Amino acid sequence: MNEELHKLVIKECEQYDTKKKEIAEKEKELSECFNQMIDHVRVIFGVDRNESVEHQIANRWKLDQFGAHNMQPLLEHWQIYLASIITVKHTISFSGSNFAANALFGFKQIRCHSSFYPFRLNCQTGYPKLENNNVLRVSDSMTYELGKWFKHRSIDQSKLPLLFELTKDICELIRERNEFVTPEVKQAFSFVKGLYDSYQSADYYRAEMKKIEDYYNKYYGSIELFNKLNDRRKQLEDKWDVINKNYKLIIKLSNKKLKV
């Protein structure tokens, strides 16, 4: 055996072990530094990893649901009120269209036994909108001539203004929600959601630190806006709970369910 090479190999092994130990110590320091950074970011965004698992799951669910504007109660109120102001029991058809209405389903398609919603929740920018209490536009190409159709003799015309008022309110809520829940806002919420995880990608978060101020502004600004929209929506729901109360009771007493 070549003793000189043997001694060199032994020395190189020792050097290797020393370097490996130094690297392990540096990686530990780097990991501790990263974890401290993440903890500070969590404080900035109000994320508490010491909360119970149930609370953390609930908070993540709230972030997942952000922007999911629950318009269903107002859409149901729209259908119920329309049904309540139809003065006949049979279905009435709107000339020149594929749509009809009756006192059970409200607005519907011809030959369908369920309600049809003329609103779209995910519209392009600027839609839906009601023009002159006449045309409901949900896209550049899709329109519903509600004003023309609802002039039908079997609809109580004195009560139509309130229906168009609700139509306008629904359009505004949908449109405003879609205008501020942009891809950038969704990205900010995804960033915050990731702070609830036990493991984070160091490379991802190190790169994202450059955007933290923008994320912060979009995150908290959007929560404020969304809460205001929700407050408006809730006020409308309360208002229409009162308006539609009697007709909903009639439906219940007649043992019929309004399909919405």
pLDDT per residue rounded down to tens, the chain (260 residues): 788 877 777 788 888 888 889 888 988 888 888 888 888 899 999 988 888 888 888 888 888 888 778 899 999 999 999 999 999 989 999 998 999 999 888 999 998 888 899 998 888 888 999 998 899 999 888 999 999 999 999 999 999 999 999 999 999 999 999 998 989 999 999 999 888 887 777 778 788 888 999 999 999 999 999 999 999 999 999 999 999 988 876 665 554 444 44
- Are 112 and 170 part of one and the same domain? yes
Q: Is residue 102 part of a domain?
A: yes
- Considering the domain architecture, whether residues 168 and 102 belong to the same structural domain is answered as yes
Written as six digits, the tokens of 23 are 């690297």
With respect to residue 224, please indicate whether it lies within any of the assigned structural domains. Answer: no
The verdict on 110 and 201 lying in the same domain is no
Does 189 reside within a domain? yes
Residues 188 and 169 in one domain: no
Specify if 17 maps to a domain: yes
Domain identity same for 171 and 96: yes
Residue 191 lies in a domain: yes
9 inside domain? yes
Q: At which residue do the structure tokens 């900010």 appear?
A: 188
Residue 227 placed within a domain: no
- Could you tell me which of 148, 175, 141, 147 has the C-alpha nearest to residue 161? 147
pLDDT the model gives residue 172:
95
The number of distinct structural domains making up the chain is 2
Query: Dihedral through CA 149, CA 154, CA 159, CA 160, nearest 10?
Result: 0
- At a CB cut-off of 8 Å and minimum separation 6, what does 91 contact? 100, 101, 102, 108, 110
- Do residue 85 and residue 213 come from a single domain? no
Asked if residue 204 is part of any domain, the answer here is yes
Q: What are phi and psi of 116, to 5 degrees?
A: -120, 130
Based on the domain organization, do 33 and 93 belong to the same domain? Answer: no
Paired strand residues for 137: 129, 143
154 shares a domain with 108: yes
| pLDDT at site 255 | 45
C-alpha distances (whole Å) from 154 to each of 145, 165, 188, 252 are 17, 20, 51, 23
| Domain around 46 | 3-67+183-219
Asked whether residue 28 falls in the same domain as residue 156, the answer is no
Question: Sheet harboring 99-102: ordered strands across?
Answer: 92-93, 99-102, 106-109
Confidence at residue 169, expressed as pLDDT on a 0 to 100 scale:
96
pTM of the entire predicted model: 0.79
Domain identity same for 35 and 101: no
**Residues across the chain:** 260
Pair (78, 63) in one structural domain: no
Both 62 and 76 in one domain: the answer is no
Query: How far is CA 218 from each of CA 45, 178, 186, 233, rounded to the nearest angstrom?
Result: 12, 15, 9, 22
Alpha-carbon distances of 168 from 12, 97, 132, 175, rounded to whole Å: 79, 22, 10, 11
